[in-house]
Amino acid sequence: VRDDRGVVLSGVTARWEDAAEPVLSGVELTVRPGERVAVVGGSGAGKSSLFGVLLGFVDVSRGTVEVPARVAWCPQEAVLVSTTVRENLRIGDPDASDDRLRAALDAVGLGLDLDTEVGPTLLSGGEAQRLGLARALVHDADLVLLDEPTAHLDEPSARALLDLIDTALADRTVLHVTHRPEEAVRADRVVEIAEGRVVVRAYR
Ligand code: DUT
């Protein structure tokens, strides 16, 4: 296991551009390589802002942020472009061979042909999320950020997606924002964000 695949936030204070107050203050968080951490907390607590810090689009005014070189972000609704499965996956790596793309589709249980045209409305919510995960695999992301991936799925689809996350992302470092306790318990560890701070480190 390479040791540069984890996340280390030390004393991080961060604010959105133009915001008067910081959204996160003095955040300490270490995520080991390959660990899966569920991030919980009330609406507006700063969970998405934490992802913004890790992705580099929220300004850090104090402290240090260490993230791996390759990070993938899977939002509530997968961002798909109206073109083929192949081109949607190649957003993860423009040079990926068809064999690698097919391996990623296999890993997420999607039996789609690479030439199939997709788009925001042509796949079910669960299929779109799977395609987003496959793109993260094509990117060979060391860190995968899941922002409420089951928010728009019915119960069976949600369970199926979570099972897939268990297997397809088993060796990746994963931060998983969720409101659902049944999702949080699948993680190695749960952290809670409240009022811009990590307030609880609950170990299972
Ligand atoms: N905020 C901004 N600009 C943005 C997004 C958020 O200023 O583009 C502010 C609003 C809010 C704070 O950051 O007061 C925290 O929001 P965040 O979206 O990080 O909270 P959350 O924990 O992800 O809430 P939710 O569960 O509702 O998504």
Q: 49 CA to middle of ligand 1, Å?
A: 6
Write down the pTM of the prediction.
0.93
Strands (E), the chain: 7-15, 24-31, 36-40, 59-66, 71-74, 143-147, 173-177, 189-194, 197-203
Centre a 10 Å sphere on the Cβ of residue 98 and count the other Cβ atoms it contains.
12
Q: 48 CA to middle of ligand 1, Å?
A: 6
* pLDDT in 10s for each residue of the chain, 204 residues: 445 789 999 999 999 999 999 999 999 999 999 999 999 999 999 999 999 999 999 999 999 999 999 999 999 988 899 999 999 999 999 999 999 999 999 999 999 999 999 976 788 889 999 999 999 999 999 999 999 999 989 999 999 999 999 999 999 999 999 999 889 999 999 999 998 888 876 655
Which of 47, 53, 175, 193 to mutate to test ligand 1, by most ligand atoms within 8 A of the CB atom?
47
